[in-house]
Amino acid sequence: MNKTTQTVITSSITGDSCIKINHSSGLTIYVAEMEGFPMTNALFAAKYGSINTKFKTCYDDDYCTVPEGIAHFLEHKLFENEDCDVFSLYAKTGANGNAYTSFDKTCYLFQCSDHYKESLEILLSFVQDPYFTPESIQKELGIIGQEIRMTNDDPGWKLFFNMLKGLYHEHPVKIDIAGTESSIAQITDKLLYRCYNTFYNLHNMVLSVSGNCKADEILEIADRLLKPCENIKLESVFPDEPMTIVYPEISELAAVGTTMFCIGFKCAPKDGFSSTKAQIEAYIAAQVLTNASSDLYCSLIKTGLINNVFGSEIFNGEGYFAVVLEGESPDPYLVKEKIIETFEKAKETGLDAELFEEVRRSLYGAMIMDTNDVNSVANIMMSSHLNGETPFNTIELLSKVTIDDVNRFIREEIDTSLCTLSIVKSSNAEDMKGEA
């Protein structure tokens, strides 16, 4: 049996620190004792999301492929145990509990102002105690099926996933996190237990606690409640994804008041440190070229081509990376042309140095503010671990990024031909050009 070890990790930039515990059970625990804060946040997360549909362990001869949406389905079912609903347990401690499934992780969490130890006991207990039956699965099929139908009617959700379907040929990131009604119909209790025993292995999980808490108290609870497990050497695989797009344009009609657009530029995916570095560079590039101070934004606003909901984000994870811009416009095709022109010009001339520094300092300030937010600290520790990094990597990378780094990213990583324009227009409007 492995011994429990503790390490203090300190940021060379801010001086903030957290405690990393390699627990004998196999679980990694991060604790940030934030004196003077009244709240406690705890996250218990597995590196298991909607994209993890093909996997194997050291005990498997071949890869197992499971139905799309099973990670999300498992998250729903884990909140029910044989005796009662987990929310009723949290109600007794006064904690606000929740959970979510994303493309690459499943996270169970609570926030409280008192009785954090009792709430932590609830969290560690129910996540380690699955209870699935054919009857309960049949009941859940109807609930999640309704959720899928609701998201299919959400124009913003449809807009984003149509963009992903335009960018990605094979990668499961293009599939709705909840799956489809036909895919979840294939889920059985045996499949749920197989996915649980594979991905909810403590070696594939992390516990992150921040705020009004003590590491020794958390360790005592972990010693009592964590169930030691062996490292099964989990391996997830993804289909080969070509560096081409599927559709340059996808349009759809829906009950919206104004035309919505989402433009995605497909970039080569990165891993670990390289992914974080590229994300920072891509974010700064997109902000410098499209934020409210940029020439592009001012021009588009002045001509009425966009309104104030225009924005950008960097969408990246295991096997995928995209620079995404979205908003509302009477002519999304012209907006796309203007954005491409702006990126191409930046490749030739580079970014404005003053705007670059303004964006970099703004992002740096936001990260500093996050270190004084209990919820943000817990999420930073959790996410950085699942990405294979330390909690302070991002801010340290940001402190070193230069305009040359960002200009290189624009020149070498953004290919404006690898672009999908997704549009959702009012169902009362005229037929649109460019439908896929």
pLDDT tens for 221-235 read 999 999 999 999 999
Residue 436 has pLDDT above 60, yes or no: no
What does pLDDT average to over the chain?
94
Cβ(395)–Cβ(13) below 8 Å: yes
- Dihedral of CA atoms 150, 154, 160, 165 in degrees, nearest 10, equals 50
Q: Is the distance from CB of 232 to CB of 59 less than 8 angstroms? A: yes
326: three-class secondary structure by DSSP: strand
Dist CA 134 CA 57 (whole Å)? 25
Confidence band (pLDDT; 50, 70, 90) for 432? very low
Confidence tier at 434 by pLDDT (50, 70, 90) = very low
Catalytic residue numbers, as ranges: 75
Query: 């560690």: which residue's tokens?
Result: 124
- The whole-angstrom separation of Cα 22 and Cα 7 is 8
Residue 283's contacts (CB-CB under 8 Å, 6 or more residues apart) are 312, 314, 363
Reported pTM = 0.94
Q: Does domain 5-236 have CATH number 1.10.540.10?
A: no
User: What is the total residue count of the chain?
Assistant: 436
187-224: pLDDT as tens digits: 999 999 999 999 999 999 999 999 999 999 999 999 99
Angle at which helix 403-413 crosses helix 332-349, to 10 degrees, equals 120
- pLDDT tens for 59-117 read 999 999 999 999 999 999 998 766 668 988 999 999 999 999 999 999 999 999 999 99
Beta strands across the sheet bearing 205-211: 5-10, 17-22, 28-33, 205-211, 40-46, 106-112, 96-101
- Homologous superfamily of the 249-426 domain (CATH): Metalloenzyme, LuxS/M16 peptidase-like (3.30.830.10)
Question: Is pLDDT larger for residue 387 or for residue 430?
Answer: 387
Choice among 22-31, 387-396, 421-430 with the minimum mean pLDDT: 421-430
Whether residue 126 has pLDDT greater than 80: yes
Run of H or E including 313: strand 311-317
**Which tokens sit at 10?**
């300190």
**pLDDT tens string 26-72:** 999 999 999 999 999 999 999 999 999 999 999 999 999 999 999 99
Q: What is the DSSP letter of 85?
A: B
Confidence of residue 273 (pLDDT cuts 50, 70, 90): confident
Tell me, what's the pLDDT at 429? Answer: 52
Neighbours of 161 (CB within 10 A): 21
Rg, Å, the chain Cα set: 23
DSSP sequence for 258-306: S-EEEEEEE-----HHHHHHHHHHHHHHHHHHHSTTSHHHHHHHHTTS-
* Mean pLDDT of all residues in 364-388: 96
Q: CATH 3.30.830.10: which residues of the chain?
A: 5-236, 249-426
